């Protein structure tokens, strides 16, 4: 079946009607202003990466906080220590980014 579809795509069974409208670039409802890629500041990338890291932290932190009351009866100290180590590693990363100037926009 896969071979058959590949052979049909080679034979180009579909009608070929090229036009300027079909070849036009269309993004987000607007025509593009320039035909080339533009560079952007690296700080956007670094800031977005830091945001994603701390956003994932929240994804892990909320379920832990919601279930901590149930887990504290059996594994209380261990679970708390485990989360403190996790948050501590993230704080060290945040301090590193802060000292490197990744959070400053100048």
Please write the tens of the pLDDT for every residue from 2-22. 888 777 777 766 667 778 777
Number of domains in the chain: 1
Whether 104 is covered by a domain: the verdict is yes
pLDDT confidence of residue 58: 86
The pTM of this model reads: 0.53
Range(s) of the domain holding residue 99: 42-106
pLDDT in tens, the chain (106 residues): 888 877 777 776 666 777 877 777 666 666 666 667 777 787 888 888 888 988 888 888 888 888 877 777 778 888 888 889 988 998 998 899 889 887 787 7
Q: HSE of 57 in the Cβ direction (CA atoms, 13 Å)?
A: 17
pLDDT of residue 76: 80
**Is residue 86 domain-resident?**
yes
Domain-embedded: residue 91:
yes
CB contact set of 25 (below 8 Å; sequence gap of 6+): 31, 32, 35
Q: Is residue 64 situated within a structural domain?
A: yes
In a domain, 16, yes or no: no
- pLDDT of amino acid 32: 66
In a domain, 3, yes or no: no
30 assigned to some structural domain: no
In a domain, 11, yes or no: no
Cα separation, 50 vs 94, in Å, equals 8
């Amino acid at each position: 079946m896969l071979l058959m579809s590949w052979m049909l795509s080679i034979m180009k069974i579909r009608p070929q009607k090229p036009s300027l409208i079909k070849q036009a670039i269309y993004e987000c409802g607007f025509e593009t202003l320039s035909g080339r890629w533009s560079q952007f500041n690296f700080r956007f990338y670094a800031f977005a990466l830091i945001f994603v890291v701390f956003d994932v932290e929240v994804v892990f932190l909320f379920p832990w906080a919601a279930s901590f009351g149930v887990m504290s009866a059996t594994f209380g100290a261990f679970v708390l220590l485990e989360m403190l180590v996790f948050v501590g590693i993230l704080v060290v990363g945040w301090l590193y980014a802060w000292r490197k100037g990744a959070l400053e926009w100048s």
